[in-house]
Structure 1
Amino acid sequence: MTREDLGPHFRAVVAAWMRAEAASKFMQGPTNLPSKGRPKQVGAWITSARGKRGCNTSVANLALYAVEWQNWWDSLQPNWRSRGADGAWTVGTSYGKDGKEWGHLLQWGVNGTLSIVASLYFWGCAVREDDVAKIRWETAVTDVGWMLEGLALYYEMWNRKF
């Protein structure tokens, strides 16, 4: 997910994900992220043993991928997240419940948040030439980056419990 440079915000997502993985001691999580509603390209990537490299995953219908991705991301959010007046998830200065409740996002390893980062990578590769679609992707990248930073902080605070 670093073969193609998708910009500083995506690099920040990858850095936050790596920070969380390191703090969780690169262990395999107890379960998998829910697959219900996940974009089919992510499932195909997982089924292929995560074998595709670079921007080779095809996202033929950007609008459909964006809707599927957003629905999946929405279903993964912890109970403390809230939405602003515009319907978007709020990005605050702290994490709800002191960052102790992460719901489905508390999944590390190859079956955890890696799938979220990969899904953004596939989407980001597909929107490079579409400035309108890229705005929606960038919003998603910002939100995922904020949540992964929170997870990294959580893992660092509680890493002795893993």
Structure 2
Amino acid sequence: GNLKGASSDRRWQKLLRDFVMYESAGPAAGNLSTTKRPKAISDWIQSKKKAVIPSLPASYPDQWAAWWDALQPKWRAGADGPLSKIVGEDAEWSSLHKGGKSGFYTIVVSLGWLVHTFPIAARVWELVEDVAWVLSKL
């Protein structure tokens, strides 16, 4: 519903356009791992108020980043550094290549809350750019 309105920033708007393209290609529906998923996301999934942005704790950016890290394929994991963007020939994306309401959609919606609630946090925009990069590879 209100994804576009989360931010007018061009990086966010481009991510949304790329997400629409991804979904229109008809990826198989699937469920993302719930490992390290923030409670705010679990609560939202169980609630009936899907269009409402929940109130988020100050720790939500860190929680979200930890979940995003946990969702990544093993080859992207750095020791403590940034996630790898060197895509090998055998690189696979099965942990993230999931369509439907329980798939990448949940990443985009919950990232939208982040962008809306913490619009000036540099970390948030690093996450937006990484999510957009992953979307471009799926």
Give the TM interval when normalised to the shorter protein: 0.7 to 0.9
1:1-162 aligned at under 5 Å gives the runs 1-24=3-26, 29=29, 31-49=30-48, 51-53=50-52, 56-61=53-58, 64-83=59-78, 87-92=81-86, 95-97=87-89, 101-128=92-119, 131=120, 134-151=121-138
Size of the alignment, in residue pairs? 136
Bigger share in helix: 1
Query: Matched residue of 1:37: which SS?
Result: coil
Query: What is the distance in 1 between the residues matched to 2:36 and 2:77?
Result: 21
User: Which blocks of at least 5 consecutive residues in structure 2 are unaligned?
Assistant: none
Query: Matched residue of 1:59: which SS?
Result: coil
Q: In 2, are the aligned partners of 1:28 and 1:111 still within 8 Å (CA)?
A: no
Query: What is the distance in 2 between the residues matched to 1:28 and 1:46?
Result: 20
Query: What is the distance in 2 between the residues matched to 1:142 and 1:75?
Result: 17
In structure 2, do the counterparts of structure 1 residues 19 and 50 end up closer, same or farther at CA, with 3 Å as the change threshold? Answer: farther
Instruction: Map Cα deviations across residues 105-130 of structure 1 (whole Å, 9 max, x no partner).
Output: 021110100111111111111113xx
In the TM superposition, residue 49 of structure 1 has moved relative to its aligned partner by 4.2
Letter of the structure 2 residue corresponding to residue 89 of structure 1: L
User: Which blocks of at least 5 consecutive residues in structure 1 are unaligned?
Assistant: 152-162
In the TM superposition, residue 91 of structure 1 has moved relative to its aligned partner by 3.3
Runs of 4+ in 1 over 3 A off after TM superposition: none
TM-score by length of 1: 0.74
Query: What is the distance in 2 between the residues matched to 1:66 and 1:13?
Result: 18
Give RMSD over aligned pairs.
2.1
In structure 2, do the counterparts of structure 1 residues 47 and 88 end up closer, same or farther at CA, with 3 Å as the change threshold? Answer: same
Identity of aligned residues (%): 30
In structure 2, do the counterparts of structure 1 residues 66 and 5 end up closer, same or farther at CA, with 3 Å as the change threshold? Answer: closer
Query: What is the distance in 1 between the residues matched to 2:50 and 2:113?
Result: 13
Letter of the structure 1 residue corresponding to residue 57 of structure 2: A
Letter of the structure 1 residue corresponding to residue 62 of structure 2: V
